[in-house]
Amino acid sequence: MMLFSLAFILLVLFYQRYLFKRKKEEESLVLKAVLEAEKKERFRLAADLHDGVSGDLNAIRIYLSLLMKNHPDDAKQEIYDDIKAGIEAALENTRAISYNLMPPAMETLGFYEAVKDYLQKLSIKGTIDFEVCCKQETVNIPEPIGYELFRVIQEFTTNILKYSTASSVLINMTQRANAFTMEIIDNGSPFIFMEELTVSRGIGLRNILGRLKVINATLSQEKLPNGNHFTITLKLQHD
């Protein structure tokens, strides 16, 4: 009778562990599928904005220029200028939205250049100095991984812009034969990632962990008295 109860307990132990592993695998698959769908949708939206909305706005701008040229009117010049300024602003916004959805440099120049381009734009717009450096000349990681890392950087930089008092941010990349490391270091107000994750209502931090999980990367944080130091480590598999 005791052997039966012992066998029963062991059976439950192993079965429950098996179910737990299966659930984690399923969650991982669902997460991958969701992120892949999101990526495709972003690509589609970026293309639609670029081809559709930007194209139409450019056409309107051209028509307005023709109208101003062919029918000059001093009384309406101010209105023409306002309309032109509005169209320029809409074009700029559309370009920015399209860029944020899917940076063109990711497809054409690769991950490192896309990050450089993105951070350059952020530095120009705001008061924070963003810098990226790499010990090697370039970074050679698969495109799907690069895409997720880019989104992680976007998430981090968005949080820094919104909440941090940082004046400078450094992203330091190191690639070795079978590992890739990315450090995000800022001099803003310190925060503990895992603690913020439990109290935050936003999905940004969870998205970061979700994306890192999909690409089998790990996130660690080194506590600094003034600032934050995050390290993302990724093992690379070579065929």
Partner 1 sequence: MFFWIAVFANSLGIFPLIVLKTAKKRLLPEARFIGPYVWLIALGSAYELVGTLLLRINTTYWFHFYCFADFFCLNYFFYRLFERKYRTLNLAFSIVFVCVFIILMIGWSEISNLQSDAFLGTLSTLLVSTFAILWFRQLAHDTGTEHLWERPVFYLISGLFLYYSGTFFLFLMSDSITNNPRMELMDFWIINILLTLLLRILLILGIWKAKAK
Q: Which residue ranges make up the site for partner 1 (CB under 8 A)?
A: 1-2, 4-6, 8-9, 12-13, 15-17, 19-20, 22-23
Residue 86, amino acid: G
What stretches of the chain show up as alpha helix (H) in DSSP? 2-48, 55-70, 77-101, 104-108, 111-125, 143-163, 193-199, 204-214
Q: Which CB atom, from 4 or from 124, has the smaller least distance to partner 1?
A: 4
Q: How far is the CB of 29 from partner 1 (least distance, A)?
A: 15
Work out the angle between the directed axes of helices 143-163 and 204-214 (0-180°, nearest 10).
160
Burial tier of 226 (Cβ tally within 10 Å: 0-12, 13-18, 19+): exposed
* Closest distance to partner 1 from the beta carbon of 11 (Å): 9
Grouping H, G, I as helix, E, B as strand and the rest as coil, residue 231 is strand
Q: Is the dihedral of CA 100, 101, 104, 108 positive or negative?
A: positive
Centroid of chain to Cα 52: 24
Are 159 and 188 in contact by the 8 Å Cβ rule? The answer is no
Least separation in angstroms between residue 203's CB and partner 1 is 21
Select 13 or 224, whichever has its Cβ closest to partner 1.
13
Closest approach of Cβ 209 to partner 1, in Å?
17
